[in-house]
């Protein structure tokens, strides 16, 4: 069980980690990064599955199914969108040396 101060420590450390790892991100990556973190909180799907998996009454099952549907939408959609955005950065590489010659 994670309780009391142990939880606080995890919260605190995770918060600092999140803050530090993106502190030097260039503007060019703001939108893909927002989309990427949008994907990461798609882990909510695991929670939704656990909630539905342990549901007993009908109302729990109904809300649980809604949770899983929404969470699965979050995780799949965010992945595709992020992947498509980041794919763009690959195509610019072969073209870069060609234009570098033209640079002063």
Q: Closest separation between CB of residue 17 and another protein, Å?
A: 6
Give me the phi and psi of 13, to 5 degrees please: -65, -40
Q: Closest separation between CB of residue 82 and another protein, Å?
A: 5
Round to whole Å and give the CA distance between 35 and 85: 9
Round to whole Å and give the CA distance between 55 and 62: 9
Q: Closest separation between CB of residue 46 and another protein, Å?
A: 5
């Amino acid at each position: 069980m994670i309780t009391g101060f142990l939880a606080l420590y995890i919260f605190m450390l995770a918060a600092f980690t999140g803050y530090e790892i993106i502190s030097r991100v260039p503007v060019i990556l703001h939108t893909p990064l927002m989309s990427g973190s949008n994907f990461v909180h798609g882990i909510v799907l695991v929670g939704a599955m656990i909630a539905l998996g342990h549901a007993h009454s009908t109302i729990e099952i109904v809300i649980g199914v809604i949770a899983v549907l929404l969470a699965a939408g979050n995780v799949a959609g965010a992945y595709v969108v992020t992947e498509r955005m980041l794919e763009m950065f690959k195509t610019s590489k072969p073209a870069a040396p060609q234009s570098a010659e033209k640079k002063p």
